[in-house]
Amino acid sequence: MRKTNWTKKLTVLLAAVCVALVGLSTFTPAGAQEWLLQVEGVPVSRAAYSFFLTEALRDAKFSGQLKDDGKPKDMAALRKDVAARCVEHVAVNSELRAMGVPIDQTLKAQAADRTAFYWQMFGRYYRAAGVDKQTLNAVLTGQSARDQLFRALYDTGGARPTSEEALQAYFYGNFVAYEGVRVFLTALWEDGTERDMTDQEKADLKADLEDLVTAANEAEDFYSVAQEERFAKALSYMAPTPAVMDKSAGEVSEEDFEKVRSLPRDKISLLELEGFLLVATGIDMRESEDEYYLGYRSACLWTMQGEAYAKALEELCAQFHADENVGALDKFYREWNW
């Protein structure tokens, strides 16, 4: 990922060719049609290019960059976007190849599952766009390389490692778990629409929940007491369940987050938070690290290093150059089903 000299550049190019010929059969397969674009000499097939175009068009639609007829407002910008996606695809897979890091079998399995789902849901659309199932699977597997490269760089033991201690400190500092029910301070009009509770309704609800907490602690049975009609109604008939709160998600203020963190673990408590009441008991996540810490470890790593990775990808992709087959691409876009 560092600035390459000509020697490493040659290694990267050779790795890219290996990726194209060995790992990514959608790039110049036997009997392939005329290539539309090539990245450092690696031709991108029509089917693969079509997939990246569908992705670019989807994003352009969400960002308001398409006209009413489905065509881009800026064709040059669209083509540049598709080329950038092709470049990243080849660059990431090539870098992994140069590092000698294979794509994890779990990531490959996830790509296969995504392929099956996408093909079942959108197969007709992909076929119309000229993307076959084999190409879809190959490209999605190639996209898994983005996650693999991230791990190879920033996970423990990576080229730019994040320590396990730092990951744990981030998790336990930004996540908290509880078992309980959120009770929102809203009620329904007769027509079913939602409204804010009146002050009296809030007071009545809080009194019912305080009685629930007292009864549950005396009985040492949160679930059974929560099913009693009076209390079940106050809880909107929701059963107490484990939940995790992420401070960085911004769903609660830092002050409210600390209130949740301070929940006792040996009794039920009632917290008054902004917008809702929380009837819950605290959970010691360190007692179930497989369920909590390991379940969120990857998300924590991305939060901690995602910005650095985006910059590293930008630097890596800058080392790769894309060349369009202008005539073939002009014809391709004229014939595209807008």
Q: What is the per-residue pLDDT for 2?
A: 46
pLDDT for the residue 14: 42
pLDDT for the residue numbered 35: 85
pTM of the model: 0.83
Give the confidence band of 3 by pLDDT, cuts at 50, 70, 90.
very low
63 pLDDT above the threshold of 60: yes
Residue by residue, DSSP assigns 202-265 as: HHHHHHHHHHHHHHHHHHT-HHHHHTSHHHHHHTTTPPPEEEEEEGGGTSS-HHHHHHHHT--S
Q: How many angstroms separate the CA atoms of 210 and 29, rounded? A: 69
Alpha helices in 129-163 (DSSP H): 133-154
- The predicted structure's pLDDT at residue 32: 47
At residue 190 the predicted structure's pLDDT band, cuts being 50, 70 and 90, is confident
Euclidean distance between CA atoms 297 and 302, whole angstroms: 9
How many CB atoms lie under 10 A from the CB of residue 92? 24
Spans of all domains in the chain = 6-161+297-335, 168-288
May I ask the CATH class of domain 168-288? alpha beta
Residue 233 pLDDT level (bands cut at 50, 70, 90): very high
Q: What is the pLDDT of residues 291-329, one digit of tens each?
A: 999 999 999 999 999 999 999 999 999 999 999 999 999
**Does residue 118 carry a pLDDT above 90?**
yes
pLDDT tens per residue, range 128-167: 999 999 999 999 999 999 999 999 999 999 999 999 999 9
Q: What is the mean pLDDT of the chain?
A: 90
**pLDDT for residue 1:** 56
pLDDT exceeds 90 at position 232:
yes
Give the whole-angstrom CA distance, residue 60 versus residue 70.
10
pLDDT at 299: 96
